[in-house]
Amino acid sequence: MCDYRYFFPINVSYSDIDAQGHVNNTRYGTYIESARLAYLQHLGLWDGEDFQQLGVIVADVHITYRLPLFYGQQIEVGARVSHIGSKSLKFEFIIRDAESKAICATGETINVGFDYTKEVSTPISTHWRNIIGEFEGQPFS
Amino acid sequence: MCDYRYFFPINVSYSDIDAQGHVNNTRYGTYIESARLAYLQHLGLWDGEDFQQLGVIVADVHITYRLPLFYGQQIEVGARVSHIGSKSLKFEFIIRDAESKAICATGETINVGFDYTKEVSTPISTHWRNIIGEFEGQPFS
Amino acid sequence: MCDYRYFFPINVSYSDIDAQGHVNNTRYGTYIESARLAYLQHLGLWDGEDFQQLGVIVADVHITYRLPLFYGQQIEVGARVSHIGSKSLKFEFIIRDAESKAICATGETINVGFDYTKEVSTPISTHWRNIIGEFEGQPFS
Amino acid sequence: MCDYRYFFPINVSYSDIDAQGHVNNTRYGTYIESARLAYLQHLGLWDGEDFQQLGVIVADVHITYRLPLFYGQQIEVGARVSHIGSKSLKFEFIIRDAESKAICATGETINVGFDYTKEVSTPISTHWRNIIGEFEGQPFS
C-alpha cells in the first residue's frame, strides 16, 4: 500500500452523499476514475482535452469498501499500474483520508487499449509501456 | 445466466452518458444498485421509504463490462442472491438489452448486514434467509 | 398548465436522492433535460444518436420547486415550446406525480441554436418552427 | 459582480462532463449548491455534519450560462446573500474561471427556512440575519 507514486486530491462534495448520509458506493468509482485520468495526464499519455484520444476503455472495476466517506472530507486517491498485458492495463487504487491516511477503500480496474474514433480495441503501445515502467520504477516489457 | 427470477427495467438517461458518448462505467453501478433495492422491496424486506431500515451496506462491488450502453436504450437488470453468510449476502447481477437480451455487463456485490441507526454491522436474520431462500428456490440455512 | 401535449415518464431512482432524503434539486434539472431531449426526438428533430447534431445548447434554466420527490415515485415531465425567437427557443416544463397529477415543480429553459461541430450559435430553422408549431397547434413564424 | 466576499474552489471532474464534451448544465447546479453549503459553514450557521440541521430548503433555482466549462478547469464559485425575507433567503452566485476570472455563469436561488425533523417551513431567525448581515456588511433587519 505504501508505494503509490501518484495521488489525486479530492474534496468530498454534497452531491456525492446519498440517502444513507455517506458517500454513495458508485461515487468511489468516480474518484478512482478521476485519479486514473489524472495519472495518465501526469505521465503525458493523455492531454486532458480530446476524449477520443484517451486510448483506453474500462473493462472491469472492483472496489472494496473499508470506511465510509463523509461530506467535506479531504481524501487522496492513489493510482498505479501494476500490470500491462498485450491489450490491457491493470490499475490499482487506494482511497485514503488526506490527514489520517486511513485507507477507506481499495480498487482495481482493467483498462483495455481502445481507439474511440474507430471503436476497436488496440494493443498497449511500447511508448506507454516505457513511460509507465519508468514512472513506476518497474519494467513492463 | 438464465436463472434470474427478478429483473428491473431501466431506460438509459442522457445524464448517464459521459464524454465518450456511452453510459459511464460508474452508472452501471447505479443500475445494479437500483435493481438490488427493488429486489429487496419485491421480497418485502425493505419498505422503500425508511433509508435507516435498509438493513445492509455495500462492502464490495465488482462489475465486468461487455458491451457499451447507449442513450435511450431499454435495459433490464437481473438480480439474485447467490450466497448468504453469517453477516453478509452475495448478490449477482446481469445487465442486458431488453429486446435482444444481449448481456452488456455482469456484476457482484457483497452487502453486509448493517444497522444504520446504531452504525454497527449485524447478522443476516433467519427471516431474510427464509424469504430469500424461498424466492430463489434454494435453501440459505 | 393543462395543455402539455408531451409527457415523459420517469421512475425516481435511488441515485437521485440526496442526504436530505428527497430528490436533489439538481436532479429535477436532469428530469427536464430528459423530457426536452425526448420531445425533440418525438418530433423528429433529433435522432437520439448523434450528440453533435442536437442543434441547441442550454443558455438559461429556471426551476421552481413545489413538492419534494421521493425514491420510487412515478412522475411524468410535461414539455412544450412556448416561444421561438430568431436564435433561441423557450421551453416550459412541469413535473407531476403520475398518479395524483399533483404538480411538484415547474421550469423554463432557454435553448439557443448551436452547431456543436463548429461551436457557433445558429438561427432556429424554418423547419423547426414549422414542426414545433404544428405539434403545439400554434404558429411560430 | 465584484463584491462577493466568499468563493468556493472547484476542480471540474470528468464525471461532470456530458456527451457534448462540456460540463452538463445540471452540474453547475451542484457547484452553486457546494458553494451555498460552504458559505453557511464558513459563517458558522451549519456544522457540515447534521443534514437534518441544515435549516433551509431549495425553493427556486435560476442559472444563466455564459461560457462552457471544461474537464480539469479550475473554477471558483462566489456566493452571497442579497435579500432576507421573513421565511426565505435569496442567494446569488457567480461561477468564474479561477485564473482568468472570466464569468462562466451566474445564478440565484431562493432558500426557505425549513425544519427537516418536523418537515415544516420556519422563519429565518434573527441570529441568521445578524450573522449574514455582518458578513455581507449590509443590515438584514
Give domain limits for chain A: 7-49+65-84+93-108+125-136
pLDDT (tens digit per residue) in C5-35: 999 999 999 999 999 999 999 999 999 999 9
Does C100 have pLDDT greater than 80? yes
A6–chain C nearest CA distance, Å: 30
Exposure of C57 by Cβ count < 10 A (0-12 exposed, 13-18 middle, 19+ buried)?
buried
List the single residue in C26, C57, C61 with the smallest CB-CB distance to D33: C26
What was the pLDDT predicted at B1? 45
Are A17 and C17 a contacting pair at CB < 8 A? Answer: no
- Integer Cα distance of A14 and D102 in angstroms: 25
Beta carbons of D81 and D132 less than 8 angstroms apart: yes
Neighbours of A99 (CB within 10 A): 10
The residue of chain C with its CA nearest to that of B41 is: C72
Chains that touch B (3 or more CB pairs under 8 A): A, C, D
What was the pLDDT predicted at A102? 98
- Integer Cα distance of C13 and C80 in angstroms: 24
- Integer Cα distance of A118 and B39 in angstroms: 39
Neighbours of C113 (CB within 10 A): 20
Where does A7-49+65-84+93-108+125-136 sit in CATH, by number? Answer: 3.10.129.10
Q: Please list, in sequence order, all residues whose beta carbon lies within 8 angstroms of the beta carbon of residue A46, skipping any fewer than 6 positions away.
A: A37, A40, A53, A54, A55
Say which CATH architecture domain D7-136 belongs to: Roll (3.10)
Output the CA–CA distances (angstroms, integers) from residue A112 to A125, D44, D102, in the order listed: 12, 48, 38
Chains that touch D (3 or more CB pairs under 8 A): A, B, C
Are C14 and A14 a contacting pair at CB < 8 A? Answer: no
The domain made up of B6-136 has a fold known as: Thiol Ester Dehydrase; Chain A (3.10.129)
D10–chain B nearest CA distance, Å: 19
Q: Cell numbers for D117, please give them.
A: 425533523
| Site of grid cell 409527457 | C7
Does D55 have pLDDT greater than 60? yes
pLDDT (tens digit per residue) in A1-25: 459 999 999 999 999 999 999 999 9
Nearest to A33 by CA among B63, C67, D124: B63
List the single residue in A24, A33, A65 with the smallest CB-CB distance to B60: A65
What was the pLDDT predicted at D2? 58
- Integer Cα distance of D55 and D136 in angstroms: 19
Does D93 have pLDDT greater than 70? yes
A141–chain D nearest CA distance, Å: 30
Q: What average pLDDT does the structure give for chain B?
A: 96
C92–chain B nearest CA distance, Å: 19
Beta carbons of B60 and B51 less than 8 angstroms apart: no
SS3 A96: strand
Tens-level pLDDT at each residue, chain A (141 residues): 459 999 999 999 999 999 999 999 999 999 999 999 999 999 999 999 999 999 999 999 999 999 999 999 999 999 999 999 999 999 999 999 999 999 999 999 999 999 999 999 999 999 999 999 999 999 987
List the single residue in A14, A15, A19 with the smallest CB-CB distance to C14: A19
Length of chain C: 141
Q: Cell numbers for B21, please give them.
A: 458518448
Beta carbons of B37 and B46 less than 8 angstroms apart: yes
pLDDT (tens digit per residue) in B94-133: 999 999 999 999 999 999 999 999 999 999 999 999 999 9
What was the pLDDT predicted at B51? 97
- Integer Cα distance of B39 and C14 in angstroms: 13
What was the pLDDT predicted at C141? 73
The residue of chain B with its CA nearest to that of D20 is: B19
Percentage of residues in chain C having pLDDT higher than 90:
96
Q: What is the mean pLDDT of residues C57-80?
A: 98
What was the pLDDT predicted at B141? 73
Q: What average pLDDT does the structure give for chain C?
A: 96
What was the pLDDT predicted at C1? 45
Q: What ipTM did this prediction achieve?
A: 0.96
Beta carbons of D10 and D77 less than 8 angstroms apart: yes
- Per-residue exposure over A14-42, b if at least 16 CB sit within 10 Å of its own CB, e if not: bbbbbbbbbbbbbbbbbbbbbbbbbbbeb
Alpha-helical regions (H) of chain A? 25-42, 126-136
- Integer Cα distance of D45 and D133 in angstroms: 13
Exposure of D141 by Cβ count < 10 A (0-12 exposed, 13-18 middle, 19+ buried)?
exposed
The residue of chain D with its CA nearest to that of B27 is: D15
- Integer Cα distance of A31 and A76 in angstroms: 9
Are A51 and B116 a contacting pair at CB < 8 A? Answer: no
Are B30 and C13 a contacting pair at CB < 8 A? Answer: yes
Q: D16: which chain C residues are within 8 Å (Cβ-Cβ)?
A: none
Percentage of residues in chain C having pLDDT higher than 70:
99
The residue of chain D with its CA nearest to that of A37 is: D14
D34: amino acid identity, one letter: S
SS3 A58: strand
C51–chain D nearest CA distance, Å: 6
Largest CA distance in chain A: 46
